Structure 1
Amino acid sequence: MTLAVIVTMWVSLSLFGAALLATQQVDLLKGKWYDKVEVSVFLCVDGVSGSQCSGDKAATQAQKDAIRQALESNPQVSRVYYESKHEAFEEYQRIYADSPVRDVLTEDTIQDSYRVKLVDPQQYQGVVTEAQSLPGVQSVVDLHNVLDPIFLWMNALRWVTFGMSVLLLVAAALQIGNTIRMAAFSRRRELGIMKLVGASNTYILMPFLLESLIAGLIGALLACVTLALGADVVVMRKMAHSITTLAWIGWPQVWTSIAWMVIVAAVLSVVPAYVATRKYLRV
């Protein structure tokens, strides 16, 4: 029974840790703009053609001010963020730090843009149509059409993993309680004698709680090793090197997940053991 507890805790905590890492990975992939941006309005730069770019020239400051004023006056627009060439170039350098295309663009050739937050994300077409007609605008992109399907599946995977881990954690808690209940039942005569001669509840409970806690922590240790090896081999060594344009989880996220796994293991070990043995404290 103790071995079954350890294995169940191992599997369930591994899934729980994987779900935590999946949550942090989704947050990293969303990036700093995802929760703010529904529409991106890219401005004209020198040498880049566009229907509203005059002579392939960069947008003037007057045009930029007019674009911002038009966007902010639109009733469908909640807020407008400006990303300068320098900010866009730094982000480009960070994303393509280890890629051969890192030096393809320079700060002069990269586009500055307005990032638009909408009142109702579904009512984007009017904002896109208006922005495309403004002088100095090279292109308009609705990012959610591209990003939403990706994050929909990633969030679904995260919740499926969470659901499976919760079911297994409940099974582990029930198994721990059943194991400790059987141990206490087999020693009920001894427990009664200890209670009659004045032993405290803490003194009687401690061996059972320690037995449960040790089994839970062994399962947690195995789960932590499994999670760390999986994150290191699969994500940090393989996926992060294969797809360098995305932000991937690292050791800070792994250590955070491990800390939560240990906490959950301790709670799931102690609480069911206490509930299972407290009736034997009454004589």
Structure 2
Amino acid sequence: MTQPTDIRRDDQRPSERLRTALDLAASRIPVLPLRAGKVPFGNCPACANNACGGRPNMKTPGPCACPGPCHAWAAATTDPHVIDSGIWRRAWLCASAVAYHPGGAGLTVVDLDNADAIAWARKNLPVTQTVPTTRGEHWLYLGAMQSVNAVRPGVDIKSTMSYARWLGFGTGAMTALPDTVRALAGSKPAPVQPAPQPLTVSAPAGGGECRHRTPAFLERGITMAEQRITGASEAVHTTVYRTFLAVLSTHGRCGCLTETHVSRLFTAAQSKGESVRHCTDAWTNARTALGM
């Protein structure tokens, strides 16, 4: 992979982030902007509630032709005319970081979130290109695979259907994706039921017309949402986001949804290995997508 020149980390001004994105795209690395909180931009009004058919929630990009960066990893592109277009240029003005789609570049990122995870990787994984992060390191391997969260404590795999912040090229030579990393996706241990953590988001305020004739309708909806999350066998993070989106779309505008209901959804997601941060991000993205 050709390394673009003069690429800085993500503490950049908007013009520098755009220039970084264009340089990466020239090296065939699909890029997208991230807003505050290191999350993608929410769906535009035309794509709200996946009215367009959606892209990030499908196993392959779908039919949406939205010109904006509003479909998370699936919006990542190497087309300089898109990256430097009017709607993307406006996104770069308020973006907080540059991200890229590792799988789209034929790469896999082993995201090591703490010192213990780094120590494990140094003992068990082949040496490869290493990029320091805020709390740990990204180990980059040449080759794509499925993305999986929490394959070990503090270890996520980011490749297809995922994104990672661009933090520079780091140091070292990139190694071919080894079987030891691929095996992590298939040997992910069954998640331990976590103790519910304090709720970090609030239920939406009411104000809309209530369409729920009985409390049983809401209860059935929350129960079905819990079952959908806990029954997911793959793409858990995507399932959590889609479920949050569906719940908010149906119950989020009239004030019937309470913090108790939201806490139940978060608990279900945590039982599948999702962190509170991932739950909060998914909830926030779903609200943004619906214009709440």
Q: TM-score, normalised by structure 2?
A: 0.22
More helix, by proportion: 1
More strand, by proportion: 2
Q: Indicate the structure (1 or 2) with the bigger Cα radius of gyration.
A: 1
Q: TM-score, normalised by structure 1?
A: 0.23
Higher RCO structure, 1 or 2 (CA under 8 Å, sep 6+): 1
